[in-house]
Amino acid sequence: MPPEAAISVRRPSYGRQELKGVRMKICVIGLGYVGLPTAAMFAANGHYVVGVDVCDRILKALGRGETFICEPGLGEAVRWAVSEGRLIAREDPEPADAYIICVPTPINPDHSADLSYIERAVRSILPCVRKGNMVILESTSPPGTTRDLVCGILGGSGLTPGTDLYVAYCPERVLPGRILTELVHNSRVIGGINSESAIKARTLYSCFVRGEMYITDSVTAEMCKLVENTYRDVNIALAAELAMICEKLGINAWEVIRYANKHPRVNLHQPGPGVGGHCIAVDPWFIVQKQPETARMIGLARRINDSMPRYVLERIKALLKNISGGRKVCVLGVTYKPDVDDTRESPVIRLISMLKAEGGYSVVAVDRHADYEGSRGRDLYEAVKGCHLLLLAVNHREFERVDFARIRERMAYPCVLDTRNFWRAEEVEAAGLSYHLLGWGKQSDEEGPDGGVPVPAARGFGGAEDR
């Protein structure tokens, strides 16, 4: 029996009867965070899967039934599928009934989408495709990629997409840490180049998807995927702008956001030192690339979020302006979000580079999840020795409870800047440290810890439990 985490109870409308005996051969191209779990799910739910990747290390591991991706249930699902002969690793695609493309779509330095991985992946299946096959793109892509790029290349096989080949775009919405669960339970948007393609793709996914599946055209589906992340990026940019405004007004943006969100139809996100990861910090650019004149707010939000590391840098400089000689900053967290090991597009890493480029600053980073210049093996209390500022950059769970008195003893200058509203000002200040919060304007922030009695900035009357 396949492991429980990977088995899905099939949707009643596409019940077992419909799929019984329809065991297909599926070629999944690109075995990363999206491709490998998808391959494992198809294998666990009745199909025979060929996993293709250009990375030898991934193929060798898969051949042994192992994976480098740390994801609940995935190791077990892969081990089972490989041991049962349901999932095999291959360097090149093989003739199959369906091809699912899950390769990366990074951005170029000019913020345009790098579609070269998709191009290569589609070309690699040209010798294999046969009449009646299905080709599905899962990679996040600019609107029109499936219809124009994928179908354009597939035409080189001598088969006509839409008539001889079913072609669809089926994006993922999975959250790292919950990928297998979300593959099953999330709703999906399925966009075909024609309705037959969309219906065929929906039937394929129905072997494990329990969420709703909405059928549309491929360009709409591509845009949906981009808009989901763009919505969050714009919302975070609004929170970041609010943080900067509230600092100037001498009030606490976190409190403003918390109370504004009590409105039943308001859902403001949280500010921070920037936006990272390979989705939210990237996908909005794909819309801007297509419509640079019209996508004004989307482009502005991207630029606001991209400016946050510089903004935090300026706050650090203001807080340490009274220090003569070298300044040492201890940075807690380097990943793009809490409790993960992913540093892709991390704004904290950008901030560290800016600090170093500034001259006169040295940085020591602590992060047991990710290794950035020795951050993984570093002890927090060793790292803060001789530091002038402690920067809480990522709210990893392990930073929630720290011994501020021990930190104070070791620091050369008692200054803390919290960019995540993670610590309680009273607790930090009780240890003799000066607490500063991104988005909270205190006059004393201009002065640094020795600048006199902190001016009690407006922070409402909420008790500690209200934070």
Ligand X SMILES: NC(=O)c1ccc[n+]([C@@H]2O[C@H](COP(=O)([O-])OP(=O)(O)OC[C@H]3O[C@@H](n4cnc5c(N)ncnc54)[C@H](O)[C@@H]3O)[C@@H](O)[C@H]2O)c1
What CA–CA distance (Å, rounded) separates 170 from 159? 21
Vertex 200 angle, CA 139 and 46, to 5°: 85
Binding of ligand X by 39 (CB under 6 A): no
CB of 119 vs ligand X, minimal distance in Å: 9
> Which of 24, 55, 149, 455 forms a contact with ligand X (CB under 6 A)?
55
Positions marked active-site: 225, 279
Binding of ligand X by 280 (CB under 6 A): no
Judge contact between 37 and 71, C-beta under 8 A: yes
Binding of ligand X by 139 (CB under 6 A): yes
- Helices marked H in 250-346 — which ranges? 253-260, 283-290, 296-319
Binding of ligand X by 60 (CB under 6 A): no
Largest CA distance in the chain: 78
Tell me the sheet residues that pair with 417.
Answer: 391, 436
Binding of ligand X by 172 (CB under 6 A): yes
Q: Is 386 left (phi over 0), alpha (psi -120 to 50) or beta?
A: left
CB of 197 vs ligand X, minimal distance in Å: 20
Q: Which residues contact 127 (CB under 8 A, 6 or more apart)?
A: none
> Which of 2, 3, 35, 299 forms a contact with ligand X (CB under 6 A)?
35
CB of 300 vs ligand X, minimal distance in Å: 23
Site for ligand X in 379-438 (CB under 6 A): none
Binding of ligand X by 284 (CB under 6 A): no
Binding of ligand X by 176 (CB under 6 A): yes
Binding of ligand X by 30 (CB under 6 A): yes
Element (H, E) at 139: none
Nearer to ligand X, 120 or 131 (CB): 120
Place of tokens 């779990």: 37
Element (H, E) at 343: none
**Burial label, 170 (beta-carbon count in 10 A; 0-12, 13-18, 19+):** buried
Nearer to ligand X, 36 or 390 (CB): 36
Binding of ligand X by 74 (CB under 6 A): no
What CA–CA distance (Å, rounded) separates 38 from 36? 5
Binding of ligand X by 364 (CB under 6 A): no
> Which of 103, 167, 287, 366 forms a contact with ligand X (CB under 6 A)?
103
Binding site for ligand X (CB under 6 A): 29-35, 52-55, 58, 102-105, 117, 120-121, 124, 138-140, 172, 174, 176, 278-279
